[in-house]
Structure 1
Amino acid sequence: MRLPILPLIALSAALALGGCGSGKSVTATNESVSGVAKKVADAGLKFNPGRWDSTMKFVKMDMEGMPPEAKAMMSKILGKDRTFATCLTKEEAEKPDAKFFGQADERCKYDSFAMGGGKIDAKMTCKAEQGMQTMTMQGNYTAESYQMTMSINGAGPQGKAMSMEMQLNAKHNGECTGKEEG
């Protein structure tokens, strides 16, 4: 089964990679993805380029009317770590654009966004093929690591209610090797 919210994982990872808490912060309300990206860049919150090793874990997953065989399949991935590595180039780190922050502007908007002092707290609403989805993100970051909890609620396949929660942890791990996934 293809989950419509998986592109948002990249968004949360990108947001959490902000530079160390040097007193700089960004807040936004009812703002586009590109608007938040511009505010982050204008505030001078820098991103640490190089290889980032990440671990993602689904903590909760529930979909209305899910067949028993699908529930059994999903129960096998709950609580299991999935690891991956990404490469953030120097250019991407210095000038993050809207694509760096996830889905296209016409599909998502920040209801609220706050990043600074080593903390991030955001709520985003996205239009998906099945209907609206709301994603909340809370976490902590430094220049070398981040921890993030995301909750996603809204319409899943065939417009039925779905909710999920996942955790992301990442650590900067030196230079890119060319073997990263993104």
Structure 2
Amino acid sequence: MRLPILPLMALSTALALAGCGSGKTVTATNESVSDVAKKVSDAGLHFNPGRWESTMKFVKLDMEGMPPEAKEMMGKMLGKGRTFASCLTKEEAEKPDAKFFGQADERCKYDSFSMGGGKIDAKMTCKAEQGPQTMTMVGNYTADTYQMTMSINGMGPQGKAMSMQMDLSAKHNGECTGKEEGKSGAVG
């Protein structure tokens, strides 16, 4: 099964939200990913550079007309985490660009975005091959950690209604090792 574009961008978006800014808040309504990235950067919300270990766990996955075999396979994935490591450079941490926040090609826009005081609340709409998809993100962050719940609704393969929910968490884990990109392993 090919996943919609939103889950593929989830890790980079979530990592971007791990910023810390003493009392700074960024809000946006009906703005592009690049405009929101610029607002966050201009607000001076800084991120801790180095190695980040993120875990993504599927909590719910429903798809209209899913064959029983596929449902069973998906059921086995629910509740199991996948851990990914990434390296955030000092430059990326100080001045994140639109790619850091997800789809830089502007297929996505934030319907609403609020980040400040250790809380994130956002709703994003993307134009996917199958049709529009909506993602909501709600969570908490510090300079070194984040926890977030993401819900995605839209059309899946063959134009069937689809919804999924993921829990994301991450922690800063020291200096980059050079082995972060593309490395992942199962947890939980």
What TM-score, normalized to structure 1?
A: 0.96
Residues 1:31 and 2:31 are matched in the alignment: yes
Equivalent position of 1:162 in the other structure: 162
Residue 94 of structure 1, CA deviation: 1.1
Q: Alignment RMSD, CA only?
A: 1.1
Deviations 1:107-166 (A, max 9, x none): 000000000000000000000000000000000000110000000001111111000000
Q: Which amino acid aligns with 1:9?
A: A
Q: Which amino acid aligns with 1:6?
A: P
Task: Please tell me whether the aligned partners of residues 10 and 101 of structure 1 are also in contact (alpha carbons under 8 angstroms).
Answer: no
Q: Which amino acid aligns with 1:17?
A: A
Partner of 2:72: helix, strand, or coil?
A: helix
Equivalent position of 2:121 in the other structure: 121
In structure 1, list runs of 5 or more residues that go unmatched. none
Task: Please tell me whether the aligned partners of residues 16 and 148 of structure 1 are also in contact (alpha carbons under 8 angstroms).
Answer: no
Residue 105 of structure 1, CA deviation: 4.1
Task: Please tell me whether the aligned partners of residues 11 and 54 of structure 2 are also in contact (alpha carbons under 8 angstroms).
Answer: no
Equivalent position of 1:135 in the other structure: 135
Task: Please tell me whether the aligned partners of residues 55 and 169 of structure 2 are also in contact (alpha carbons under 8 angstroms).
Answer: yes
C-alpha separation in 2, matches of 1:104 and 1:41? 15
Residues 1:179 and 2:186 are matched in the alignment: no
Task: Please tell me whether the aligned partners of residues 59 and 166 of structure 1 are also in contact (alpha carbons under 8 angstroms).
Answer: yes
Q: Which amino acid aligns with 2:35?
A: G
C-alpha separation in 1, matches of 2:29 and 2:105? 15
Residues 1:10 and 2:33 are matched in the alignment: no
Deviations 1:10-58 (A, max 9, x none): 3432332112x40111000000000000000110001110001111110
Task: Please tell me whether the aligned partners of residues 11 and 103 of structure 1 are also in contact (alpha carbons under 8 angstroms).
Answer: no
In structure 2, list runs of 5 or more residues that go unmatched. 183-188
Equivalent position of 2:145 in the other structure: 145
Q: Which amino acid aligns with 1:152?
A: I
Deviations 1:73-123 (A, max 9, x none): 101100001111111011111110000100134300000000000000000
Equivalent position of 1:94 in the other structure: 94
Instruction: Report percent identity of matched pairs.
Output: 82
Partner of 2:56: helix, strand, or coil?
A: strand
Q: Which amino acid aligns with 1:14?
A: L
Task: Please tell me whether the aligned partners of residues 15 and 170 of structure 2 are also in contact (alpha carbons under 8 angstroms).
Answer: no
Equivalent position of 2:69 in the other structure: 69
C-alpha separation in 2, matches of 1:107 and 1:167? 23
C-alpha separation in 2, matches of 1:61 and 1:29? 28
What TM-score, normalized to structure 2?
A: 0.93
C-alpha separation in 1, matches of 2:154 and 2:2? 15
